[in-house]
Amino acid sequence: MSHRTVLIAGAGIAGPALAHWLHRHGMPATVVERAPGLRAGGQTVDLRGAGRAVARRMGLEAAVRAASTGEAGIRFVDARGRTRAALPADAFGGQGPVTELEILRGELCRLLYEATREHTAYVFGDEITHLHDEGDRVHVTFRHAAARAFDLVIAADGAGSHTRDLVFGDTTRTRHLGLCTAYLTIPREPHDDRWARWHNATKGRTVTLRPDNQGTTRAYLSFPTPAHGYERLEPAAGKRLLRRVFADVGGEAPRVLAALESAPDLYVESVAQVLMPRWSQGRVGVLGDAAHCASPLSGMGTSLAFTGAYVLAGELARHAHHTDAFAAYESALRPYVARAQKLPPGVPRIASPRTRAGIRTLNTVLRAAGHPRVSRALGRFLVPPADTFRLPAYGV
């Protein structure tokens, strides 16, 4: 076999999931992570379809369920907090905007780390600075540690992957979706319950609050914009931007804006997708958001990470040569990714009306979601194609 030792960049979700499956197939992995430790922050993610099936095969489904936020569903509210429409977690067969397996990203990262740390070498506080594919191995230079050689290197360090860009450079394309979103954790208040609350304001602005299981509340502020690059803003500039855009939005917006200064995890980003013409070059491959970020709007980022890790490790075990394994991995997974990245017509604008009349219309449609005909129509927009992939059997 041409690939026995594997270096993985990124200790988020895709990287440790890959390390798990590589171990199951007898391939030792090393994971390098730029952060000094596990990233404890992050918003709510979910597992659906093939991704949930992979978690079950990993023996993690029960742990994920135990660490779930327990979100009951989502309420669409007005500026006075009155519910105008509601979608419970069991709507659309439990595969709508909220599922029964909602978990904080940091909690899921912790579960994956705990499940892999005994057999995976984790190196925190370091990063790859140079890669040289020598044909038979990849020579890796790190910012701090001594240089080493590995049979394969896998970039699994997110949509803005530095490791990916060292090899694939300008071949990676980013498709911006005309939306800016800020994420932060705010203090919990007595009226925060197990339901998420989504407030549509005019000009396409939305304020969303979601429950967690940490005694706090997760907040999202989103607004449409043709500009991008907000993730590069200095923190002070990002706060000024949010205060300006949401200054006249009532409801929970003032509360969220007031929490900006003390929020420990404020992050502002331009919502986008990652498009790559190929997911491997020589002995270097890409996985998860680094390869094919579908954006939070797809509802499938975590499931794609789990599924991709399972398939990549399985193909590496099935094929003697890495080039054949990478080709089989991409051939199997790319159609699934394409379905995830093909957002419904009008998304994201359809969920964020710009006028009061548009907001009223949206709420009216959502209130009718219980009607079979309306439910089928809404399913095109609210149910991701997570169950459209059949997991291959790899004998583990």
Chain segment 370-396, per-residue pLDDT in tens: 787 778 778 878 888 999 999 999 988
Question: 372-382 and 356-367 are packed helices; what angle lies between their axes, rounded to 10 degrees?
Answer: 120
The Cα–Cα gap between 193 and 353 comes to: 26
Tell me how far the alpha carbon of residue 180 is from its chain's centroid: 16
For residue 35, pLDDT over 90 is answered with yes
pLDDT of residue 62: 95
Q: Are 216 and 187 in contact (CB under 8 A)?
A: yes
Average pLDDT, the chain: 94
For residue 345, pLDDT over 90 is answered with no
Global pTM value: 0.95
Lowest-pLDDT choice from 216-230, 314-328, 339-353: 339-353
Q: Are 165 and 297 in contact (CB under 8 A)?
A: no
In the structure, what pLDDT confidence band is assigned to residue 2 with cuts at 50, 70 and 90?
low
In this prediction, residues 173-202 reach a mean pLDDT of 96
pLDDT of residue 395: 84
Tens digits of per-residue pLDDT, 323-343? 999 999 999 999 999 999 999
In this prediction, residues 65-81 reach a mean pLDDT of 95
pLDDT of residue 1: 67
Residue with tokens 């327990």: 70
| β partners of residue 76 | 85, 198
Tens digits of per-residue pLDDT, 80-95? 999 999 999 988 888 8
Tens digits of per-residue pLDDT, 140-174? 999 999 999 999 999 999 999 999 999 998 899 99
For residue 97, pLDDT over 90 is answered with no
pLDDT of residue 266: 95
The Cα–Cα gap between 48 and 38 comes to: 24
* Bridge-based pairing state of the strands 152-155 and 6-9: parallel
Domains and CATH numbers, the chain: 6-43+50-67+104-173+273-341 (3.50.50.60)
> Which percentage of the chain shows pLDDT scores above 90?
86
Q: Are 200 and 359 in contact (CB under 8 A)?
A: yes
The Cα–Cα gap between 307 and 301 comes to: 10
In the structure, what pLDDT confidence band is assigned to residue 347 with cuts at 50, 70 and 90?
confident
In this prediction, residues 94-112 reach a mean pLDDT of 92
pLDDT of residue 3: 75
Tens digits of per-residue pLDDT, 39-50? 877 899 999 999
